Structure 1
Amino acid sequence: MPAYLYQIILMGGKDARLAALKTAVAARATDLGIDPRGIVYLDESAFADGYDRKKPAFGIYFGNQNRTVPEPLDRLEQDSIVIAPIVTAKTQVGVEIPDALQHINVVEVGMNGDNIPRLASLVFETFRLLRKDRGIFISYRRKGSQPLANRLYEELDKRGFDVFIDIRSVPPAVDFQAELWHRMSDVDTILLIDTPGFREGRWTKAELAQANLLGIQTLHLLWPGQVEDRNFAFSRYVKLLATDFSGPSPGRGATIKQAVVDSICDLAEELRAEAMALRHAHLVDNFCDAARDLAFEPTVQPERWISVLLQNGSSLAVVPAVGRPTSDRINTIFDAISEHKAADAPIWAIYDSRGLHENWVRHLRWLDGHLPIRTISVADVPDALRGLLT
């Protein structure tokens, strides 16, 4: 049997974009704590002998002028494998994609490699190593940076992010701070626009303290003239230059250039993996420490869930759930883990409850009584484990 864990099936006209994708996938795997050698690339000639239907797979068809129908297509469709058709531009679907794949939404990746980070994320989302929800929070000071915040909001929204930005995202008559913490608990990245006076703002210190508490990565845009601040522990800094804007001076009617916006959005996509890895590690470490304190022997499986042998000889399957558990995410966890665990193994989904509305936590407790999977706050893990000892 092959020694790899994940498969990327390559079809169509492979070109320079493939090398860029492999580089991005390797980097993203490293960020997630996954050995890149566990990901194999199978082209059409190696598919018949190398493909393993029991392992996660993702198909990529690189559009080309020949529009050749790939030989593995029938087998991949039979196995319900996700296939992403890649085009140089959405107007080229009829030119680059065969009729048999034109019913699938395409991913636009130019020959210069733009949007490669999004394609790499799609790979890991399909492998269930990155969640498909792509939350991002924009923190800014309205005076001076409102136009840039609006521009980034629109661009990120166009790229499929669920963007949280102050009054656009909070309904009227809602406790703003409670809603802010609740929404922040579910984002992967904070995009912080650091303009003069921003750090003295009413919400700034509270927002950044909460982000550091939750291990959320911050893409920290430094306005021209602003300097880095060591207090922002999880920040990746991007120094904006006056030349990144066109028109008058920044903050006085200047507009940021599209190439800079594209670069910021690509970085936000890349930071998702780092954020997921940190938050996943927090859940795993806390659970395993609590289990060992009670003489259990937790084992982290290659698919990144935790198995625990119980005293009665059965086993417990524990899945870290980064962000806010929802019924569809719980269902995804159940489907993903059912094929790996023992038939009689109970399933726990552990999550970080910090910042969540109490109403949401009560809803999760209600779901526990109706679903074949139990959600447990990582803070409550020790008590839940003690319950298995009685």
Structure 2
Amino acid sequence: MGGKDVRLDALKAAVQARATDLGIDPSEIAYLDENTFSGTYDRKKPAFGIYFGNQNKTVPQPLSQLEQDSIIIAPVVTSKTMVASEIPSELQHINVVEVGMDGDNIPRLASLVFETFRLLRRERGIFISYRRKGSQPLANRLYEELDKRGFDVFIDVRSVPPSVDFQAELWHRMSDVDTILLIDTPGFREGRWTKAELAQANLLGIQTLHLLWPGQIEDRNFAFSRFVKLLETDFSGPSPGRGATIKATVIDSICDLAEELRAEAMAFRHAHLVDNFCDAAQDLALATTVQPQRWISVELKDGGSLAVVPAVGRPTSDRINTIFDAITNHTSAGTPIWAIYDSRGMHDNWIKHLKWLDGHLPIKTVPVGDLPSALKRLLA
């Protein structure tokens, strides 16, 4: 890390909280600076470089070593208009992360750390659930701000093409998001689509950032919700729903919370996949070990082994490639590799596509529901 300033303490706190949400011991994360780098840096361990832009534009000596090792470096600026003033020419070709001295956007920077370590997906899906009457302007504002922050935002009026089966597309897209942003306005809970969406979210264990409109109360039937109570003072202008506009600071706070909730959501769905696999393996008297890198090694009865990687969300060919590249560093040549996933809600044609890929790639995709039969076939 270079050019340390007050934002570093905020980043460390956010990284520690995110690690805890992911079930990782925060003490396993080391922070190196110019003074500790040479005696502590280990090229065999994952690393991520952060340069806090400053008016002096000093270049710490470790930067060249990180670049030589192809380590990702994130230049941080107080404003994107300050790149030339705060970032040395050696780093100006890299896209910057904008983080003000008040710590805004620190959650995004913390997520970037874990995405680089492959502990969070780089795909950042979020699903906005709302009732068009009364909350369409807020839904649009959130869409625009989340999109600007790099989220892949699903919102019905913009995300479903014409002539597509709406409900099938809804479930398919929902199966791949990290979180749901729910705008709970009066009458929202009585809607037909609302009940179906929330039932599906609970079924998949997707975490929900549940925005309670002024006057709305928490409902514990929404099992995986983190509730946020909106106040009338969060809006400017007339009463909420009658032309009032939500304040920019509140929008920023909601987007930061959505970023923070990703780790908790990913950890829960990852644990669901791990638990299902270990239960299926235990029924067949197979010994399993969850490795520090969060994949599962299995000792087979013939003396061989199996590597199993939980894949949260919808497997794609590029995600499968990433899994393969990551896991082959930890397994012996010829070790079979499985990517396990939850197929509930996915289009049938997508599952057929995955089965087709299984015949062409050195890694197999196995839905959770097929684990017992797949393990039996492997042992036969």
Q: CA deviation at 1:49?
A: 1.4
Paired position in structure 1 for 2:29: 39
Paired position in structure 1 for 2:69: 79
The superposition leaves residues 265-304 of structure 1 with CA deviations (integer Å, 9 ceiling, x where unpaired) of 0000000001000000000000011101101001000000
For 1:242 and 1:236, how far apart are their aligned partners in 2?
20
The superposition leaves residues 155-197 of structure 1 with CA deviations (integer Å, 9 ceiling, x where unpaired) of 0000000000012100111110000000000001100000000
Paired position in structure 1 for 2:362: 372
- SS of 2:362's equivalent in the other structure is coil
Paired position in structure 1 for 2:12: 22
Residue 227 (structure 1) aligned to one of 210, 217, 230:
217
For 1:73 and 1:371, how far apart are their aligned partners in 2?
37
Residue 184 (structure 1) aligned to one of 161, 169, 174:
174
Paired position in structure 2 for 1:126: 116
For 1:344 and 1:144, how far apart are their aligned partners in 2?
58
Paired position in structure 1 for 2:81: 91
Q: CA deviation at 1:74?
A: 1.7
Residue 52 (structure 2) aligned to one of 41, 62, 78:
62
- SS of 1:236's equivalent in the other structure is strand
The superposition leaves residues 206-226 of structure 1 with CA deviations (integer Å, 9 ceiling, x where unpaired) of 100100111111000000001
Q: CA deviation at 1:344?
A: 2.0
The superposition leaves residues 221-280 of structure 1 with CA deviations (integer Å, 9 ceiling, x where unpaired) of 000001110110111111101110001110010000000000000000000001000000
Is the deviation greater in 19-28 or in 49-58? 49-58
For the Cα contact (< 8 Å) 1:57–1:81, is it kept in 2? yes
Q: CA deviation at 1:387?
A: 1.2
Tell whether 2:316 aligns with 1:320: no
After TM superposition, list the pairs within 5 Å mapping 1:236-315 onto structure 2: 236-315=226-305
Q: Which amino acid aligns with 1:340?
A: H
For the Cα contact (< 8 Å) 1:287–1:381, is it kept in 2? yes
> Structure 1: 5+ residue runs without aligned partners?
1-9
Q: Which amino acid aligns with 2:15?
A: V
- SS of 1:44's equivalent in the other structure is coil
For 1:56 and 1:347, how far apart are their aligned partners in 2?
22
For 1:306 and 1:343, how far apart are their aligned partners in 2?
17
Tell whether 2:329 aligns with 1:339: yes
For 1:313 and 1:76, how far apart are their aligned partners in 2?
40
Q: CA deviation at 1:319?
A: 0.3
- SS of 1:203's equivalent in the other structure is helix
Paired position in structure 2 for 1:167: 157
After TM superposition, list the pairs within 5 Å mapping 1:91-110 onto structure 2: 91-110=81-100
Residue 216 (structure 1) aligned to one of 206, 210, 213:
206
Residue 199 (structure 1) aligned to one of 177, 181, 189:
189
Q: CA deviation at 1:309?
A: 1.3
TM-score by length of 2: 0.99
Q: Which amino acid aligns with 1:388?
A: L
The superposition leaves residues 79-138 of structure 1 with CA deviations (integer Å, 9 ceiling, x where unpaired) of 110000011111111111111001000000000000000000000000000000000000
For 1:348 and 1:182, how far apart are their aligned partners in 2?
22
Q: Which amino acid aligns with 1:190?
A: I
For the Cα contact (< 8 Å) 1:29–1:36, is it kept in 2? yes
Q: What percent identity do the matched residue pairs reach?
A: 82
For 1:22 and 1:69, how far apart are their aligned partners in 2?
22
The superposition leaves residues 354-379 of structure 1 with CA deviations (integer Å, 9 ceiling, x where unpaired) of 00000000000000000010000011
After TM superposition, list the pairs within 5 Å mapping 1:129-144 onto structure 2: 129-144=119-134
Paired position in structure 2 for 1:5: none
> Structure 2: 5+ residue runs without aligned partners?
none
Q: CA deviation at 1:311?
A: 2.2
Q: CA deviation at 1:313?
A: 1.9
Paired position in structure 1 for 2:103: 113
Is the deviation greater in 38-47 or in 252-261? 38-47
Q: Which amino acid aligns with 2:149?
A: R
For the Cα contact (< 8 Å) 1:198–1:204, is it kept in 2? yes
Q: Which amino acid aligns with 1:310?
A: L
Q: CA deviation at 1:73?
A: 1.5
For the Cα contact (< 8 Å) 1:246–1:257, is it kept in 2? yes
For 1:111 and 1:314, how far apart are their aligned partners in 2?
54
For the Cα contact (< 8 Å) 1:314–1:344, is it kept in 2? no
- SS of 1:86's equivalent in the other structure is strand
Q: CA deviation at 1:312?
A: 2.5
Paired position in structure 2 for 1:157: 147
- SS of 1:29's equivalent in the other structure is helix
